[in-house]
């Protein structure tokens, strides 16, 4: 839940982690519990032998949870006033609420799972930084 007393929504965003349940010597189980939203869409981002940059947009309505499945990624997020950078690794989870600009850089051979509380809707995307800043002024 976002604390409305904070001066910036970015102060509520943190990297947390899933719980690792040790399995047999050949495998293990990573567990995520207590979602903060209803799951409507899942997609995967994958970098092969070279790094990949994705995102560079914001959502008006959609909230997302970003999970590292393998490798690592760096993330730059902004509420149009403040910008924060994160680096994640295995089992990292980052909850990104609607209204946040996101840029993701996947390291080679990394895989990111994105869980969303909304189905895909192109009208939910703001793909231009200056349009995002104007939209934030109106909200």
Split into its structural domains, the chain has a count of 1
Tens of pLDDT, residues 51-106:
888 999 999 999 998 888 788 889 899 999 999 998 887 667 788 999 999 999 98
Domain membership flag for residue 4: no
Question: Which pTM was predicted?
Answer: 0.78
Domain membership flag for residue 3: no
Find all residues with CB under 8 Å of 48, minimum gap 6, and list them: 108, 109
DSSP classification of residue 16: E
| Calpha distance 110→84 (Å, rounded) | 21
Domain membership flag for residue 39: yes
């Amino acid at each position: 839940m976002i604390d409305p007393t904070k001066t910036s929504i970015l102060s509520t965003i943190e990297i947390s982690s899933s719980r690792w349940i040790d399995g047999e010597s050949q495998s293990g189980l990573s567990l995520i519990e207590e979602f903060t939203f209803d799951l409507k869409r899942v997609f995967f981002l994958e970098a092969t032998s070279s790094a990949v940059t994705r995102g560079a947009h914001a959502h008006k309505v959609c909230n997302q949870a970003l999970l590292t499945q393998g490798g690592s990624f760096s993330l730059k997020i902004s509420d149009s006033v403040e910008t924060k950078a994160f680096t994640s690794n295995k089992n990292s989870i980052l909850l990104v609420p609607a209204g946040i600009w996101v840029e993701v850089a996947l390291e080679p051979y990394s895989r990111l799972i994105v869980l969303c509380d909304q189905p895909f809707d192109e009208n939910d995307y703001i793909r231009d930084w200056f349009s995002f800043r104007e939209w934030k002024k109106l909200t």
